[in-house]
Amino acid sequence: MIRLFQVKCASENEIEAQILKKLRIRKEDLLQWHVHRKSVDARHQKVLFSYVVDCKVKNEKKLLKLKDVSLTPDETYHPVMSGEHALSARPIVVGFGPAGMFAALILAQYGYKPIVLERGSNVDIRKQKVETFWENGVLDEECNVQFGEGGAGAFSDGKLTTRSKDSLCRKVLEELVSFGAKPDILMDQHPHIGTDAFLSIIKNCRKEIERLGGTFYFDTKLEDIKVENGILKQIYFNHQWMDCNALILATGHSASDTILMLHKHGMHVENKPFAVGVRIEHKQKYINEAMLHEYSQDERLIPARYQLTYTASNSKGVYTFCMCPGGYVIPSSCQKEQLVVNGMSYASRSGENANSALLVQINDSDYGNELFAGLKYQEELERKAFLMGQDYKACVQLAKDYLAHRVSKQFESVVPTYSIGTTFCDLNALFGDEVNLALHEALKHFEKKVPGFVSSGAILSAVESRSSSSVRLVRDKESYVSNIQGLYPSGEGSGYAGGIMTSAIDGIRTLPKEISNEYFCTELLCSEF
């Protein structure tokens, strides 16, 4: 089978004709075809859809010489063979965000009956606790936007976009479809699920793992581990010790207490760069007009998205991240008296506003070289924002007032979507000089590039500080094992991923190469668990 790129047409009805034209073949020579990827090309006067198509044709080798043609790569998931040695205990996955979900799913699919520990509640109870926080500011530190079944990605836009070319992308997307996601995600260039749809998908994934023999402990935190001679022997949770020689750590980026506990037992941890900043909120109508111009009413293209980057004069990178069309800025704290905001969209993306993180790169020049200095920097910034916002109210300022160093007095065209309430602040007093310099320059640059980006009444809400982990749990590049034998860091919280897709892929990657080859028993032995 061959893969044909740049098949451009106004509708799906024209695809086959375009395939024949580009390949210069007769209809009888085209045996079958299907769309692999779909994107929009709105750069010219006429809006076109651009397709990547897989085709089965006669005389395939001859056509490989043509432009935009290549062999279709094998995107089938090929698991490694099971190991020769049996586990003395069932494998345990800590955390049920995207990395933990897919680690547990693959384990279950191949008969390994994983045990999953999730410090937060199941998705139904979690949804209730999150909504309680959003309505009245009553925070459950163990179950919130960061902790609970589905991880931080459960309350987001549900973006599945990734730059990764990893063949496991297809495996992740196909599994999500099997759990209820729309099949469109298999071919959309910028697929998304939406938080409302994602919650049911998470539940279906858990039910499948349980059907295959997996066991879940919700409202259960990994409290301690026992290590002997550099080898993991036991873990402690729910007032009990359990034997464990294969522990997949998919804790998420906010489980600092768990990371500190692991470090106490000798696990190698290092600081890593991360980012802090704000959520910028616009009218979605403005974004449609600014991005699409004469096509701003075209139902095929709206709601519009954007992605912007800038390198400031102090060499700090500034970029938009996790843009939520038709979305909401949401309270996202997981620790009391610390203020965190994030963004979310429902599947329909029908909200009146658009929002995006606007982030500045942070490194040891900002927080120093001491281990966990980045974590301390992050938490101190959140505590400062909490005091400025007066409880869990968002610290807000019109973007133009932020540039003018004046506290805003009233909103203009954009009304904030943050549910708990807002407090007008000068965000220049929240951030340090280097971050302010970078944000100021970036906003001025974006205003020139996209007129109205600042001047259309845009609101900045702070503080956006949990886009990634401030530490990395060091692991071997090939085996994925940490310096503690039997302990496998995985996902965003371990510093090796960012977003739903890369976390899910890392959850799968953590397993086969080392665990399957060294630890996992055969299917026959697994039946003894």
Question: In the prediction, which pLDDT does 508 show?
Answer: 93
260 and 285 assigned to the same domain: no
In a domain, residue 80? The reply is: no
Question: In the prediction, which pLDDT does 355 show?
Answer: 97
In a domain, residue 298? The reply is: yes
Q: Of 88-92, 148-152, 188-192, which has the strongest mean pLDDT?
A: 148-152
Containing structural domain, residue 205? 92-269+473-526
Count the neighbouring beta carbons within 10 Å of the beta carbon of residue 473. 26
Q: What is the pLDDT of residues 458-491, one digit of tens each?
A: 999 999 999 999 999 999 998 999 999 999 999 9
105 and 39 assigned to the same domain: no
CATH number at residue 42: 3.30.70.2700
179 and 196 assigned to the same domain: yes
Interval 30-40 mean pLDDT? 90
Cα(460)–Cα(528) distance, rounded to whole angstroms? 56
Question: In the prediction, which pLDDT does 165 show?
Answer: 67
Question: In the prediction, which pLDDT does 522 show?
Answer: 36
State what percent of residues in the chain have pLDDT above 70: 93
In a domain, residue 181? The reply is: yes
In a domain, residue 77? The reply is: no
Question: Looking at this protein, which amino acid is placed at residue 340?
Answer: V
452 and 490 assigned to the same domain: no
298 and 317 assigned to the same domain: yes
Name which residue leads in pLDDT, 42 or 320. Answer: 320
Q: What is the pLDDT of residues 311-369, one digit of tens each?
A: 999 999 999 999 999 999 999 999 999 999 999 999 899 999 999 999 999 999 999 99
418 and 505 assigned to the same domain: no
Question: In the prediction, which pLDDT does 161 show?
Answer: 76
Question: In the prediction, which pLDDT does 79 show?
Answer: 66
Is the pLDDT at 516 greater than 60? The verdict is no
Cα(145)–Cα(160) distance, rounded to whole angstroms? 19
Which of 430, 464, 498 is the endpoint of a domain? 464
In the block, tokens 């919700």 appear at: 218
Q: What is the mean pLDDT of the chain?
A: 91
Question: Looking at this protein, which amino acid is placed at residue 468?
Answer: S
234 and 379 assigned to the same domain: no
Question: In the prediction, which pLDDT does 175 show?
Answer: 95
Interval 147-158 mean pLDDT? 90
Question: In the prediction, which pLDDT does 229 show?
Answer: 96
Question: In the prediction, which pLDDT does 512 show?
Answer: 45
Cα(483)–Cα(489) distance, rounded to whole angstroms? 10
In a domain, residue 85? The reply is: no
Interval 390-401 mean pLDDT? 96
Question: In the prediction, which pLDDT does 77 show?
Answer: 76
114 and 240 assigned to the same domain: yes
Which three-class secondary structure state does DSSP give residue 166? coil
Whether 249 and 232 have beta carbons less than 8 Å apart is answered as no
Q: What is the pLDDT of residues 202-211, one digit of tens each?
A: 999 999 999 9
338 and 445 assigned to the same domain: yes
Name which residue leads in pLDDT, 41 or 31. Answer: 31
Whether 89 and 242 have beta carbons less than 8 Å apart is answered as yes
Is the pLDDT at 91 greater than 90? The verdict is yes
Which of 445, 464, 483 is the endpoint of a domain? 464
Question: In the prediction, which pLDDT does 523 show?
Answer: 37
What pTM value is reported for the model? 0.89
Interval 403-431 mean pLDDT? 98
In a domain, residue 76? The reply is: no
160 and 256 assigned to the same domain: yes
In a domain, residue 259? The reply is: yes
Question: In the prediction, which pLDDT does 511 show?
Answer: 80
In a domain, residue 422? The reply is: yes
Is the pLDDT at 223 greater than 70? The verdict is yes
In the block, tokens 């700090």 appear at: 316
Which of 425, 443, 464 is the endpoint of a domain? 464
255 and 376 assigned to the same domain: no
Number of domains the chain contains: 3
Question: In the prediction, which pLDDT does 41 show?
Answer: 76
129 and 6 assigned to the same domain: no
Question: Looking at this protein, which amino acid is placed at residue 68?
Answer: D
